[in-house]
Amino acid sequence: MSIIVRCPACGAKNKINEKTKKKPLCGKCKTPILIQQNVSPIHLSDSDFDNFIRTSHKPVLVDFWAQWCGPCRLMSPVLDSFANSQGSIVVAKVDTDRNPVTSSKFQIFSIPTLILFDEGKEVKRLTGAMSLQQLESLLKPWITIN
């Protein structure tokens, strides 16, 4: 299956075979292009958050959490299972204590807060702990079967 991936360096759109074994390069500027794989949640920081969300070729579900938060710890295995059970949504985590700029930018007042970004824009916001079934049900419109 081919996907369209925006180059993180120049912004050019590139058509790439998702199962390619070679490292894809941008057709315009020849910068290597990272194809994100859903194996486990990706940890993002203030410094790489915007670029990752903007250049992702798939919707990105971001978990805003903190180590001291009990409900956040309950959500961790749910998000791990979600990330590994489907391939249409990338799962990422932002530690609100270590990344106050991003947390403030998205007005995170309660954790865990999950925000789904599609094409770089916020499209869904969920707050509080939930089961895997509840999460899948709430994100059903963005989950595709490959």
**Both tokens assigned to 134:** 């509840």
Handedness of CA 133, 52, 8, 36 (dihedral sign): negative
10 is catalytic: no
Q: Which of 7, 26, 29, 69 is catalytic?
A: 69
69 is catalytic: yes
Q: How far is CA 82 from CA 1, 106, 107, 120, 122, in A?
A: 22, 23, 25, 21, 19
Q: Which of 7, 10, 26, 72 is catalytic?
A: 72
Please choose, from the candidates 10, 123, 13, 117, the residue with its C-alpha nearest in 3D space to the C-alpha of residue 58. Answer: 117
- Catalytic annotation, residues: 69, 72
